[in-house]
Chains A and B, each alone.
Chain A
């Protein structure tokens, strides 16, 4: 599967005409690929979501992925095995047993991997950075990503949105995954959504179930909208 080459380059490269007086070239909104972090607890479905997003977006956008799973090559292999992206569009980063450090306190290795992938596959539209499974206090540094998605799931306990934490409260998009399992684990999806909304000052919450790639269609739509805002320079 090769990246798309028939995309609207005029639209893609409007960043070249970005207004003067902004930050250094190639670093501000719209001037480089949109970087999106995908975080969340172990087993909530981050890798599955990344795989589904690649499947849904790869024909229209040039996508690269950096993965940080604790066993670093495992996520990359899962993505490769599913053939969602060519192997050279995926890079794995070691996190020294501390996945949250690698996405928040010391982003050096992730930034290095992101920049190398973006340079090797220029032009890239979307860079996905998947964190290793972590706890509810993990959050991506703004120095690493422009937007972040926090993925929790019904089987992880429906009190997670009520407990809050930076991921639940501050992520640009909160995904509540595995809604299909809710009846089996006694989880109340509606309450999860209400509790989450209470903590998120109007930022979006999407309940989904990725039994196939189409289950991530709503998230893909959010990603596309984010790309458009990013290019237009209206992203936060």
Chain B
């Protein structure tokens, strides 16, 4: 396996993902996530929406500068919550900066230097490409980080058994990895035709979470 791609897939890669719960902190607050079974159900819903993020990461792997900007604008249009847009750009900015420090590259430098930073899936896709990873790698890493963020937050916030949670994570990820055909389609698709199915509750809870007086997680 490509060691650089493994580094990007590692949750310890210092891009700030450890403080992202993929919506689990607010889902715990409203009682949607409270045990292993409800975490698994949440994960199924969140990963189904996460296909949008995976598709944009795939599309960014071999994109040129103009296409990257278009992908960024198209992704922006798919995130309804202003708070979640801000969070996505913060995560993207942090990822681009960490990645360019490890793998110097003009496209990553441009993203890292942009004022608000790129959306996270766009930054991830570009970083995967710079590392020599494939579009399929980008999809897997995107969904893996999403599942890991939700599961880690479940462990930290509810004290769930980490061994059991790892099982939940593995099963849910296996159910939601895209097909070879999907990946092939996303990697050549016009950005406006990439998946656009959002989760209204995720957006609403994300927006409300941003107004909390005290948060443990970024979102």
A107–B156 Cα gap in the complex (Å)?
19
* Smallest CB separation, A76 vs chain B (Å): 10
Given A97-B156, A112-B93, do A106 and B18 touch, yes or no (CB 8 Å)? yes
Does A44 touch B at the CB level, under 8 Å?
A: no
Contact assessment for B12 and A105 in the assembled complex, using a CB-CB cutoff below 8 Å: yes
B97 contacts across to A, CB distance below 8 A? 108, 111-112
Counting chain B CB atoms within 10 Å of each CB, the highest count among A70, A74, A96 belongs to A96
Given A109-B90, A109-B94, do A74 and B218 touch, yes or no (CB 8 Å)? no
Contact assessment for B19 and A109 in the assembled complex, using a CB-CB cutoff below 8 Å: yes
Chain B 1-34: CB-based contact to A (< 8 A → 1; otherwise 0) = 0000000000010111111110000000000000
A94–B98 Cα gap in the complex (Å)?
18
Does B213 touch A at the CB level, under 8 Å?
A: yes
| Closest B residue by C-beta to A71 | B214
Contact assessment for B214 and A102 in the assembled complex, using a CB-CB cutoff below 8 Å: no
Does B215 touch A at the CB level, under 8 Å?
A: yes
A95–B201 Cα gap in the complex (Å)?
24
A105–B214 Cα gap in the complex (Å)?
23
| In the complex, chain A residues 39-82 whose Cβ is within 8 Å of any chain B Cβ | 70-74
Contact assessment for A105 and B14 in the assembled complex, using a CB-CB cutoff below 8 Å: yes
A229 contacts across to B, CB distance below 8 A? none
Contact assessment for A109 and B156 in the assembled complex, using a CB-CB cutoff below 8 Å: no
A72–B213 Cα gap in the complex (Å)?
8
Contact of A96 among B12, B14, B153, B213 (CB under 8 A): B153
A71–B153 Cα gap in the complex (Å)?
15
Contact of B215 among A94, A101, A105, A109 (CB under 8 A): A94
Contact assessment for A96 and B214 in the assembled complex, using a CB-CB cutoff below 8 Å: no
Does A98 touch B at the CB level, under 8 Å?
A: yes
Contact assessment for A94 and B218 in the assembled complex, using a CB-CB cutoff below 8 Å: yes
Contact assessment for A96 and B94 in the assembled complex, using a CB-CB cutoff below 8 Å: no
Chain B 177-219: CB-based contact to A (< 8 A → 1; otherwise 0) = 0000000000000000000000000000000000001111110
* Smallest CB separation, B161 vs chain A (Å): 17
Chain B 131-159: CB-based contact to A (< 8 A → 1; otherwise 0) = 00000000000000000000011001100
Given A95-B216, A96-B21, do A106 and B156 touch, yes or no (CB 8 Å)? no
A111 contacts across to B, CB distance below 8 A? 94, 97
Counting chain A CB atoms within 10 Å of each CB, the highest count among B12, B93, B152, B216 belongs to B216
Contact assessment for A108 and B94 in the assembled complex, using a CB-CB cutoff below 8 Å: yes
A98–B218 Cα gap in the complex (Å)?
12
Contact assessment for B215 and A106 in the assembled complex, using a CB-CB cutoff below 8 Å: no
A93 contacts across to B, CB distance below 8 A? 19
| Closest B residue by C-beta to A113 | B90
A165–B218 Cα gap in the complex (Å)?
29
Given A72-B215, A106-B12, A109-B218, do A95 and B19 touch, yes or no (CB 8 Å)? yes
| Closest B residue by C-beta to A72 | B215
Contact assessment for A98 and B18 in the assembled complex, using a CB-CB cutoff below 8 Å: yes
Known: A72-B215, A72-B216, A73-B214. 14 other contacts (CB 8 A): A70-B216, A94-B19, A95-B19, A96-B19, A96-B21, A96-B218, A97-B156, A98-B156, A102-B18, A102-B19, A106-B12, A107-B14, A108-B16, A109-B94
Between-chain CB contacts (< 8 Å), 24 pairs: A70-B216, A71-B214, A72-B216, A73-B214, A73-B215, A74-B214, A93-B19, A94-B19, A94-B218, A96-B20, A96-B152, A98-B156, A101-B18, A102-B18, A105-B18, A106-B14, A106-B16, A108-B15, A108-B94, A108-B98, A109-B218, A112-B16, A112-B90, A112-B93
- Give B residues with C-beta under 8 Å from A: 12, 14-21, 90, 93-94, 97-98, 152-153, 156-157, 213-218
5 A-B pairs with the lowest CB-CB distances in the bound complex, closest first: A108-B16, A96-B19, A71-B214, A108-B94, A106-B14
